[in-house]
Amino acid sequence: MDGGNAIRGFIHLVIPLTRPIGAAILIFTLIGAWNNYLFPLVFLQSTEMQTITLVPQFFVGQFSNDQTKILASAVITAIPEVVAYLCLQRLFERGLSAGAIK
C-alpha cells in the first residue's frame, strides 16, 4: 500500500478481510430471528399478529393431523433461510475455513 492513506488501506485491506465474518454473522442472525418460535407463541394471542413460523400449528387440531400440510408449511417457512445461505455461501465457507488452515 505504497502511497496510500488510511482510508485507502481500510477500503482495500480491512473490508475484504471482514466480509466473510459479516456474512457468517448475517446468516446466524437471520436464522436466530427467523426461528424465533417460543416468544410469539407465548405472547401473541391473536392469530393475525403471529409470525409465519407458527403456521404449521394451524394444521393440527383435536381430530385432524394432516402431516402433508405441516411439512409443506415447514418447507415454505425455511425458504428465506436457504436463499440467504445460497447467496452468501461463498463468503460463509471462506470465513469458516480461514481459521482452520495454518
Q: With CA atoms as reference, report the closest residue to 27 among 88, 96, 74.
A: 88
**Does residue 49 lie within any of the structural domains?**
yes
Q: Is the residue at 87 inside a domain?
A: yes
Cα separation of 81 and 28, whole Å? 10
The answer as to whether 7 is a domain residue is: no
Structural domains in the chain (count): 1
More confident residue, 41 or 81: 81
> Is 83 among the domain residues?
yes
What is the predicted pLDDT for the residue at 65?
78
The grid coordinates listed for 52 are 409465519
Site of grid cell 502511497: 3
Residue 1: the pLDDT is 61
Q: How far apart are the first and last CA of the chain?
A: 25
Please give the distance of CA 50 from its chain centroid, rounded to a whole number: 19
| pLDDT for 28 | 85
**The whole model's pTM is what?**
0.59
Q: Is residue 15 part of a domain?
A: no
- 13, part of any domain: no
Which SS3 state, helix, strand or coil, does residue 60 take? strand
Q: The domain containing residue 75 runs over which residues?
A: 20-98
Is 42 within a domain? yes
C-alpha cell recorded at residue 49? 399478529
Is residue 53 a part of any domain in this protein?
yes
Supply the pLDDT for residue 101: 61
